[in-house]
Amino acid sequence: MNPNYNTEVPDASYFERQVLCRTGCPVNTDAGGYVQAIAEGRDEDAYIIARRPNPFASICGRVCAAPCEAKCRRKDIDAAVAIRALKRFVCEQFGVESERFDVNRVYAATQRAERAKLGLGRRVAVVGAGPAGMACAHDLALMGFNVTVFEAQSMAGGMLTLGIPQYRLPREIIQAEIQAIVSLGVDLKLNSRLGRDYSLASLKQDGFEAIFLAIGAHKSRELNIEGVELDGTFRAIDYLLNINLGYRVNLHGKVVVIGGGNVAFDVARSVVRQAAHIDDMSPEALRKILREATTTLDQLTRGEREGPEDLKVALDVARQALRAGVREVHMYCLESLAEMPATKAEIDEAVEEGVKLHTRWGPKRILGKDGRVSGIELIKVASVFDQNRRFNPTFLEGTEETVAADGVVLAIGQAADLSWVRPEDNLKTTARGTVEANPQTLATSRPDVFAGGDLAFGPRIIITAVAEGRRAARSIATFLTGKAPTESATVRTTIYNAHRMFPGYERLPRRQPPAIAIERRVGIAEVENTFPQPEAWLQANRCLKCHVSPVFDGDLCVLCGGCVDVCPESCLRIVDVANLMGDEMLAAAITARYGRMPTSGMSAAIIKDETACIRCGLCAARCPTHAITMERVERLQLA
């Protein structure tokens, strides 16, 4: 028995938070639900569960920061369940990238028709076709609003398209997700820039009754040090925008990247992919590249390998011999490895691919010769954060070092471009260079204008932007109709009469998805692949099934203590009811059962440590009176 176990009973909201992987997701995706469906072989059901709250499921299966995994209780044992990779596993079978994608399967026609009554064709403008804007358009279209999305670039997707390198997120996946949303009746207008082609005033004149601003943060923050004007100095976002729009960027030789976030790593890994120039390659290396390309293309021709992934890799390998490139990439960041904001997986992959990482260094000045970068002077960092954990770097004078470089890329943050804001727009902005918006409703200082994503709150992860887009859609619907939209949902209770965990589940190690070999990570070849079915099944069976819990029937319990004895985690305890501590709900429940608050020794209760329970079901199996059942209560979102 756990000697530290106390008798304080948490309030009801505590139990609602127990499925932590779900509460970790900004759009409340039932991660435990689709992971269990995979474990049970119900892959299509798993996809539906993952897709309904998230119109960018296929994208998130590849590049989501996976806040659900940060909440996963399995990480307290060894490592979190590979939730993101399992999402990709089902998306590749049934998502927009598959031939089996069926929009009517995701949104039942009768449910769509019922929801569409709310909007009645009223017009809404969405500015920005990134994840926040398109998620808002998606929900508004399902509610029957007439939605037009205005995008400044020649392609939709926002920073999904313009900021994330193709080796992490293939462009065809983004466009397929966008097209699925457009198929709901959304009108998408490309090459339409706010402040140049139209204004907020003109949108109102054109009959749009509400506007959602989601233009993102496409400007790099400035670093005020000597030498930033030299040729060969690039801002990270400018660099990625040019690369992803297909423009040539003249980087060669030795390149230094300044920054420690995911964008900095995207830059560094993109630079690495500008492979060695053909003149610098040995004949043996060149022959190997051409031999690999020829072999792969032959296999494709004979049908021994599948495309388009293999074809893409073959073409990338062939192009390697034609590209001018970079010999050496170094990253310098202020933070230590423990403090770096980039994910561990991103760091590990970059180092694997040849990026040389240097921590606790800051830039002091960029050196030049004849107007071009020749090096950079760096200084050792004493601390990154002050005593209040605010970002406030301090440096160690006298520790300066000079590093030779042919190019420098500054990845020190992003900002929104607010040059389009006019006085007559009546929009309040913040000192941080964002549009002021209510975090709950996304409302701005104008009642008919809402704002979300990076424009309102600074750079965020993708799934947070999606959540804000969906929140904005509900607020816009409420503003225009006077009625808050309700989601079509039902509550279902499932009782597992023979609940058993997978044999040896607690010993199953987390596996990373397969990845292509280091020597083949060139150009836009996608690095990560999907789990094969047997491995996906095993990884899904690592789940502790937090969404399934033992439920105790006090009328059947005889207080034999068998459940306490058999519990492998010592998370059950029989206590005196008089010693329980809790809120008004507990007091009301006790009074309802006993007619009054019991005195000491009058009655007993079984309490459970939710943080320790691994849902093994041994308590239910041991109970001689069947007072314990393993149950799941779930809220099913139908559309």
Q: Do 472 and 136 contact (CB within 8 A), yes or no? A: yes
The sheet that has 146-150: what strands, in order across it? 187-189, 146-150, 123-127, 210-213, 449-451
Percentage of residues of the chain with pLDDT beyond 90: 43
Contact 617, 550 (CB under 8 A): yes
Name the nearest CA neighbour of 468 among 141, 639, 214, 160.
Answer: 214
> What pLDDT, on the 0 to 100 scale, is given for residue 456?
92
Give which of 67, 60, 69, 136 is closest to 91, Cα–Cα.
60
Residue 338: the pLDDT is 79
* C-alpha–C-alpha distance, residues 53 and 33, integer Å: 13
Residues 389 and 522 in one domain: no
What pLDDT does residue 291 have?
52
3-state secondary structure 75-130: HHCCCCCCHHHHHHHHHHHHCCCCCCCCHHHHCCHHHHHHHCCCCCCCEEEEECCC
Among 97-101, 123-127, 153-157, 216-220, name the most confident range.
123-127
Q: Is residue 8 part of a domain?
A: no
Does residue 489 register a pLDDT over 70? Answer: no
Please compute Rg for the chain using Cα positions: 28
Lowest mean pLDDT among 46-50, 243-247, 269-273, 336-340: 269-273
Does 76 fall in a domain? yes
Same domain as 189, residue 225: no
Q: Which two tokens stand for residue 612?
A: 């320790």
**Distance (Å, rounded) from C-alpha 328 to C-alpha 312?**
25
Question: What tokens does 4 get?
Answer: 């530290």
How far, in Å, CA of 194 to CA of 203, rounded? Answer: 10
Burial of 224 (C-beta count, 10 Å sphere; 0-12/13-18/19+): exposed
Q: Following CA atoms 328, 334, 335, 336 in sequence, which dihedral angle do they give, to the nearest 10 degrees?
A: 60
Tokens in use for 471? 């929140």
Average pLDDT over residues 67-89: 92
Give the number of other Cβ atoms within 10 Å of residue 131's Cβ: 34
Q: What's this model's pTM, rounded to 2 decimal places?
A: 0.79
Same domain, 531 and 558: no
Residue 71 has phi, psi (to 5 degrees) of -95, -10
Q: Judge whether residue 1 has pLDDT over 50.
A: no
Range of the domain at 87: 19-104+490-540
Please, which residues have CB within 8 angstroms of residue 625's CB and are 6 or more apart in sequence? Answer: 556, 557, 558
Q: Determine the average pLDDT of the residues in 602-620.
A: 86
Q: Is residue 454 part of a domain?
A: yes
User: Contact at 8 Å (CB) between 450 and 476?
Assistant: yes
SS3 549: strand
Helix axes 43-51, 83-94, angle to 10 degrees: 110
Does residue 285 sit in helix, strand or coil? helix
CATH code of 558's domain: 3.30.70.3270
Q: What is the DSSP string of 361-381?
A: EEEEEEEEETTEEEEEEEEEE
- Name 362's Cβ contacts closer than 8 Å, sequence gap at least 6: 332, 334, 378, 379, 380, 381, 393, 395
Classify residue 297: in a domain, yes or no: no
User: Once rounded to an integer, what is the mean pLDDT over residues 448-462?
Assistant: 90
Choose the weakest-confidence range: 255-264, 518-527, 535-544.
518-527
Q: Give the max Cα distance, the chain.
A: 90
Q: Which of 499, 521, 540 is the last residue of a domain?
A: 540
Instruction: Note whether 243 and 155 are same-domain residues.
Output: no
* Burial environment of residue 287 by CB neighbours within 10 A (0 to 12, 13 to 18, 19 or more): exposed
Mapped onto helix, strand or coil, the DSSP state of residue 250 is: coil
Does any domain span residue 381? yes
Give me the half-sphere count of Cα atoms (radius 13 Å) on the Cβ side of residue 482: 0
Estimate the crossing angle of helix 283-302 against helix 309-320, to 10 degrees. 160
Give the pair of three-digit tokens for residue 549.
Answer: 């819990």
The answer on pLDDT for 159 being more than 90 is no
Residue 496 and residue 463 share a domain:
no
| Residue 33 contacts residue 632 (beta carbons within 8 Å) | no
Q: Is residue 300 part of a domain?
A: no
> What's the pLDDT at 268?
67
Q: Could you tell me which residues are beta bridge partners of residue 408?
A: 233, 256
For residue 554, the model assigns a pLDDT of: 87
Residue 281 has pLDDT above 80, yes or no: no
Report whether 315 contacts 359 (CB < 8 A): no
- Alpha-carbon span 80 to 432, nearest angstrom: 35
pLDDT tier at 319, thresholds 50, 70, 90 = very low
Q: Kindly state the average pLDDT of the residues 334-341.
A: 79
Q: What local confidence, expressed as pLDDT, does residue 38 receive?
A: 96
Peptide bond into 514 cis (omega under 30): no
pLDDT at 220: 72
Rounded Cα distance, 520 and 526, in Å: 10
Residue 630, C-beta contacts closer than 8 angstroms, at least 6 positions apart: 495, 496, 499, 548, 549, 550, 551, 615, 617, 620
* CATH code for position 346: 3.50.50.60
The per-residue pLDDT for 467 is 96
Residues 48 and 86 in one domain: yes
Can you tell me the mean pLDDT for 351-360? 83
Residue 140 contacts residue 184 (beta carbons within 8 Å): no
Q: Tell how far CA 558 is from the center of its chain.
A: 47
Residue 56's CATH number: 1.10.1060
- Same structural domain, 264 and 402: yes
Task: Quickly state the pLDDT bin for 496 (edges 50, 70, 90).
Answer: confident
Q: Which tens digits make up the pLDDT trace of 189-219?
A: 999 999 999 999 999 999 999 999 999 887 7
pLDDT at 14: 39
Three-state secondary structure call for residue 492: strand
Residue range 103-125: average pLDDT?
73
Pair 386, 247 in one domain:
yes
Q: Please answer whether residues 116 and 143 qualify as being in contact, where contact means their C-beta atoms are separated by less than 8 angstroms.
A: yes
- Per-residue confidence band for 519, with pLDDT thresholds at 50, 70 and 90: low
Q: Which pLDDT score, from 0 to 100, does residue 97 have?
A: 93
Q: For residues 388 and 409, what is the distance between their CA atoms, to the nearest angstrom?
A: 30
Are residue 435 and residue 420 in the same domain, yes or no? yes
449 shares its domain with 522: no
pLDDT-based confidence at 221, cuts 50/70/90? confident
Q: Are residues 257 and 400 in the same domain?
A: yes
Total number of domains in the chain:
4
Query: For position 317, what pLDDT does the model report?
Result: 22
Boundary of a domain, candidates 387, 412, 437 = 412
pLDDT of residue 5: 42
Kindly report the number of other CB atoms within 10 A of residue 33's CB atom.
Answer: 20
Q: What is the pLDDT of residue 13?
A: 41
Residue where a domain terminates, one of 366, 390, 412: 412
pLDDT at 307 over 60: no
**618 occurs within a structural domain:** yes
User: Residue 442's pLDDT is what?
Assistant: 96
pLDDT classification of 106: cutoffs 50, 70, 90: confident
- Answer yes or no: is 77 within a domain: yes
CB atoms within 10 A of CB 348: 11
User: Given this model, what pLDDT does residue 298 score?
Assistant: 46
At 270, list the tokens.
Answer: 């993109």
Region 442-464: mean pLDDT is: 92
Query: Does 287 score more than 80 pLDDT?
Result: no
Is a pLDDT exceeding 90 seen at residue 535?
A: yes
Distances (CA, A) of 419 to 435, 460, 598: 12, 21, 68
The stretch 569-581 carries a mean pLDDT of 88
| Residue where the block lists tokens 């299509």 | 44
For residues 490 and 397, what is the distance between their CA atoms, to the nearest angstrom? 63
Instruction: Supply the DSSP symbol for 230.
Output: S
CA–CA dist 522, 322 (Å, integer):
12
Q: Quick one: 250 and 332 in the same domain? A: yes
Q: What percent of the chain has pLDDT over 70?
A: 81
Tokens of 171: 């462009």
Question: b/e map of 34-47 (b: 16 or more CB within 10 Å)?
Answer: bbbbbbeeebebbb
Q: Give the confidence band of 412 by pLDDT, cuts at 50, 70, 90.
A: confident
HSE-up of 213 (CA within 13 Å, CB side)? 33
Picking from 264-268, 434-438, 545-549, 557-561, which range would have the lowest pLDDT averaged per residue? 264-268
pLDDT for 31 equals: 92
